[in-house]
Amino acid sequence: MRKNLIRSLTIVFLLIFILSSFINAASLTDEKKNLRFIGASPGGTYFIVLGGLSETLQKEVPNWSVTVEPGSTLSDVIRVAMGDGDLALAQHTAVLDA
């Protein structure tokens, strides 16, 4: 139970760090950007987290267009590596397998 809480808090803090990095970078430029987040299956936890992240980015950075595309855990990592998306969430075991 305690390990799950620590993992969850670590993930939340990492997402906050990533979000703040995007917002700081966006404040330095007025150029329009299209970000493509690749999430797991629709209705899954990662897809919901990326949906919330994309909504927050669109509210905070008006020049950015953020979309979330469905995928599967292993293919998300491969798609980002091939340049088909900008960010994906996956379990560490899937990243190691990819």
Long-range contacts from 43-51, C-beta under 8 angstroms, 24+ separation: 46/73, 46/89, 46/90, 49/15, 49/89, 50/87, 50/89
| 3-class state of residue 2 by DSSP | helix
Separation between Cα atoms, residue 56 and residue 61, nearest integer Å = 8
Which residue do the tokens 């299956």 mark?
41
Pairwise pLDDT comparison (93 vs 29), residue with the higher score: 93
Q: How far is CA 83 from CA 49, 78, 88, in A?
A: 21, 9, 11
pTM exceeds 0.75 = no
pLDDT single digits (tens) 38-82? 877 787 787 888 888 888 888 877 788 888 888 876 787 888 888
Evaluate whether 33 touches 46 at the Cβ level (below 8 Å).
Answer: no
Tens of pLDDT, residues 31-49 = 777 888 887 778 778 788 8
| Percent of the chain topping pLDDT 70 | 82
